[in-house]
Structure 1
Amino acid sequence: MASNRIGRINEEIQRELAAQIRSLKDPRVSGAGMLSVTRVSTTPDLRYAQVYVSALDKTQEKEAVKGLKSAAGFLRRELGAVLRLRYTPELQFTADDSIEHGAHILELLRDVERKSGGQEDV
């Protein structure tokens, strides 16, 4: 039952952070193009939240994460005003590379398919 609660809290944090990131005035964050919160993972005691972000422009992604880390206190305060929790989790931002990882695996599978395409089993 607690895991369902954590899941709902993660979704709510993700939704609120996505809305708040758009209003940040830091040029590192606003200059990164389209920045999206892909996933939030909160510890069971609600003290820490790992926030995974992905940028459309991968060259600006590291700078955007640095900007988000510097704005973490502001975002935490704004999050605490919206969410009704005993503890507002400390935000830790990480660049999400799951899309690149999935594309790499897909390319490997296509490569195997191309190599075995000429050799059909009878």
Structure 2
Amino acid sequence: MADTGRARKIADRIKVLIAANLESIVKDPDLGFVTVTDVRVTGDLQHASVFYTVFGDEAQRAKTAALLEKNKGRLRSFVGGQIQIRLTPSLDFFADAIPETASHLEDLLREAKERDAAVAAAAARAKYAGDADPYRRDGEDDDDLPGGEDASVEASPARDEDGTAPDARA
């Protein structure tokens, strides 16, 4: 039975340990500015996935990925000595896609803002299709109806010339 609470606590501890001690363990000037964004540990505590981002260009990211892969054993030994559990989880490093995702989202938000501005500009130039206020108000004359008849007459059923309803003749 896997204890997800324990796995989460160990993942948080591994994240703090690696983030705080990465430069002292990997003593290489080619190591970029690394930020450990997340660590996920399996339920059986055998494997840990470490997600990181690197500040810099693609070449810097490639160098940092190679250095992390090269020093994976040293980092695992350090983590194992600090957390002191029966089995030290193996470490796998994954470059996190947060910066690419964030830039894509920023592009989408910028595009949406431009479209909103275009819609607002079109709405500012818009005019009513009919009158500015198409609704009748209380107290207005109803003589505006076609044929000049009163609204109450038009609402009543159709009548013959003598004023009787067609149903009343039968």
Q: Same fold (TM over 0.5)?
A: yes
1:8 maps to which residue? 9
Are residue 28 (structure 1) and residue 27 (structure 2) matched? Answer: no
Provide the TM-score with structure 2 as the length reference. Answer: 0.64
2:41 maps to which residue? 42
> Cα–Cα, structure 1 residues 96 and 58, in superposed 2: closer, same or farther, change >3 Å?
farther
The number of equivalent residue pairs is 119
Which is further off, 101-110 or 47-56?
Answer: 101-110
Tell me by how many angstroms 1:109 deviates.
Answer: 2.0
What percent identity do the matched residue pairs reach? 29
Tell me by how many angstroms 1:75 deviates.
Answer: 0.7
Structure 1 runs not aligned, ≥5 long: none
Which is further off, 1-10 or 97-106?
Answer: 1-10
Distance 1:6 1:58 in 2: 34
2:108 maps to which residue? 108
1:94 maps to which residue? 94
Tell me by how many angstroms 1:99 deviates.
Answer: 2.4
Structure 2 runs not aligned, ≥5 long: 127-170
RMSD: 1.9
- Choose between structure 1 and 2 for higher RCO, CA contacts under 8 A separated by at least 6 residues: 1
More helix as a share of residues: 1
Tell me by how many angstroms 1:73 deviates.
Answer: 0.5
Contact 1:62–1:95 (Cα < 8 Å) also in 2:
no
2:78 maps to which residue? 78
Larger radius of gyration: 2
Distance 2:82 2:65 in 1: 23
Tell me by how many angstroms 1:112 deviates.
Answer: 1.7
Tell me by how many angstroms 1:101 deviates.
Answer: 0.4
1:60-103 deviation per Cα after TM superposition (whole angstroms, max 9, x unaligned): 01210110111000111111111021211111111111122022
Provide the TM-score with structure 1 as the length reference. Answer: 0.87
Are residue 17 (structure 1) and residue 7 (structure 2) matched? Answer: no
Amino acid at match of 2:19: A
Which is further off, 97-106 or 64-73?
Answer: 97-106
> Cα–Cα, structure 1 residues 58 and 52, in superposed 2: closer, same or farther, change >3 Å?
farther
